[in-house]
Chains A and B, each alone.
Chain A
Amino acid sequence: MAERSLRGKVAVVGIGETTYYKHSQSPDPEFILALKAILAASEDAGIDPREIDSFASYSNDRNDPSRISAALGCKELRLSNMQWGGGGGGGAAAVGNAAAAIATGQAEIAVVYRALAQGQFQRFGQAQAGSTVAGDAALINPYGIFAPAQRFALKIMRYMHDHGIKQEALRALAMASYHHAQSNPRAVMYGRPLTEEAYDASRWISEPYHLFDCCQENDGAAALILVSAERAKDFKNKPAYVLAVAQGSDHRNAARSFNAPEFASSSFGPVAPHLWEMAKLGPKDVDVLQSYENFTGGVLMSLTEHGFVKPEECNEFLRLENLLAPTGKLPLNTSGGNLAECYMHGLELQIEAVRQLRGTATSQVPGAKVAGVIAGPMVTPVSTMVLGSEETL
Chain B
Amino acid sequence: MTYLPKGLPAPVTESDKLDAPYWAGTREGKLRVQRCAACNTWQWGPEWLCHNCRSWDMRWVEVEGRGKIWTWTRCWHPVHSALKGHGPYIAVLVELPHAGNIRMLGNLLGDTEQPVQIGAPVEAVFEPHDDAATPYTLVQWKLAR
Name the interface residues of A193-209: CB closer than 8 Å to any CB of B. Answer: 203-208
B80 touches A206 (CB 8 A): no
Across the two chains, which residue of chain A brings its CB closest to B79? A147
Known contacts A139-B105, A258-B93; decide if A144 and B4 are in contact (CB<8 Å). yes
Q: Which residues of A lie under 8 Å from residue B88 when comparing CB positions?
A: 204
Instruction: Give Cα A126–Cα B81 distance, bound, in whole angstroms.
Output: 9
Cβ–Cβ < 8 Å partners of A130 in chain B: 9
Residues of chain B lying within 8 A (CB to CB) of residue A126: 79-80
Contact A158:B89 (CB < 8 A) given known A143-B106, A203-B76: no
Residue B77 CB within 8 A of the other chain = yes
Give the interface segment out of A37-45, A249-257, A305-313. A249-257
Known: A133-B9, A142-B138, A255-B51. A154 touches B71 (CB 8 A): yes
Q: Which residues of A contact B8 (CB under 8 A)?
A: 141-142, 144
Q: Mark A113-142, 1 if CB is under 8 A from B, else 0.
A: 000000000000111011111111111111
Task: Give, as a whole number of angstroms, the nearest-CB distance from A169 to chain B.
Answer: 18
Interface set, chain B 53-100, CB cutoff 8 A to A: 70-77, 79-81, 83, 88-89, 91, 93
A135 CA to B91 CA, complexed, in Å: 19
Instruction: Say yes or no for A70: interface residue by CB 8 A criterion.
Output: no
In the complex where A144-B75, A144-B89, A205-B77 touch, is A134 in contact with B45 (Cβ < 8 A)? Answer: no
- Contact: A154 with B76, CB < 8 Å? no
Q: Let me know if B103 is at the binding interface, CB within 8 A.
A: yes
- Chain A nearest CB from B13 CB (Å) reads 7
Chain B nearest CB, measured from A209 CB (Å) = 8
A68 interfacial by beta-carbon distance below 8 Å: no
Flag whether B133 is at the interface (Cβ < 8 A). Answer: yes
Supposing A134-B13, A145-B91 touch, asked if A154 and B45 sit within 8 A by C-beta, the answer is: no
Inter-subunit contact A132/B138 (CB<8 Å): no
| Contacts A154-B73, A256-B44, A256-B45 given; does A143 touch B107 at CB 8 Å | yes
Q: Does A284 contact B (CB under 8 A)?
A: no
Bound CA span A134–B11, Å: 6
The distance from the CB of A163 to the nearest CB of chain B, in whole angstroms, is 12
Tell me the bound Cα distance from A57 to B70 in angstroms.
Answer: 36
Q: Does B131 contact A (CB under 8 A)?
A: no
Nearest chain A CB to B117's CB is how many angstroms away?
9
**Chain B residues, Cβ within 8 Å of A131:** 9-10, 133
B118 touches A161 (CB 8 A): yes
Cβ proximity bits B1-44 to A, threshold 8 Å, 1 near / 0 not: 00010001111111100110001000000000000000000001
Complexed CA–CA distance, A138 and B17 (Å) = 13
Do B51 and A135 have beta carbons less than 8 Å apart?
no
Q: Which residue of A lies closest to B117 (CB)?
A: A161
B83 proximity list for chain A (CB < 8 A): 144
- Tell whether, in the assembled complex, residue A145 and residue B105 are in contact, meaning their CB atoms are under 8 Å apart: yes
Chain A residues in 8 Å Cβ range of B103: 257-259, 263
Inter-chain contact A256/B47, CB cutoff 8 Å: yes
Given contacts A131-B133, A136-B45, A258-B103, contact A206 B138 (CB under 8 A): no
User: Are B73 and A153 closer than 8 Å at their CB atoms?
Assistant: yes
Say yes or no for B143: interface residue by CB 8 A criterion: no
Q: How far is the CA of A208 from the CA of B138 in the complex (A)?
A: 26
Contact yes or no, A135 B14, CB < 8 A: yes
Task: Tell whether, in the assembled complex, residue A142 and residue B10 are in contact, meaning their CB atoms are under 8 Å apart.
Answer: yes
Residues of A within 8 A of B77 (CB): 147, 149, 203-206
Contacts of A207 in B (CB 8 A): 73-76
- CB contacts (< 8 Å) of B18 on chain A: these are 135
Q: A63 contacts the other chain (Cβ, under 8 Å)?
A: no
Q: Inside 8 A of B79's CB, which chain A residues have their CB? A: 125-127, 144, 146-147, 149-150
Q: Mark B117-145, 1 if CB is under 8 A from A, else 0.
A: 01000000000000001100010000000
Question: Do B45 and A132 have beta carbons less than 8 Å apart?
Answer: no
Check if A368 is an interface residue, CB within 8 A of chain B.
Answer: no
Give 20 CB contacts A-B under 8 Å. Answer: A132-B134, A133-B11, A134-B12, A136-B45, A138-B14, A139-B45, A140-B105, A142-B11, A144-B80, A144-B89, A144-B107, A145-B105, A147-B79, A150-B79, A158-B118, A205-B76, A208-B73, A255-B45, A257-B105, A259-B103
Which residues of chain A have a CB within 8 Å of any CB of chain B? 125-127, 129-147, 149-150, 153-155, 157-158, 161, 203-208, 252, 255-259, 263-264
- Known contacts A127-B79, A143-B105, A255-B51; 7 additional CB pairs below 8 A are A133-B9, A139-B11, A144-B79, A154-B71, A206-B73, A206-B75, A263-B103
List the 8 shortest-distance A-B pairs measured between CB atoms, nearest first: A256-B45, A138-B11, A158-B71, A153-B73, A257-B45, A147-B79, A204-B76, A133-B9
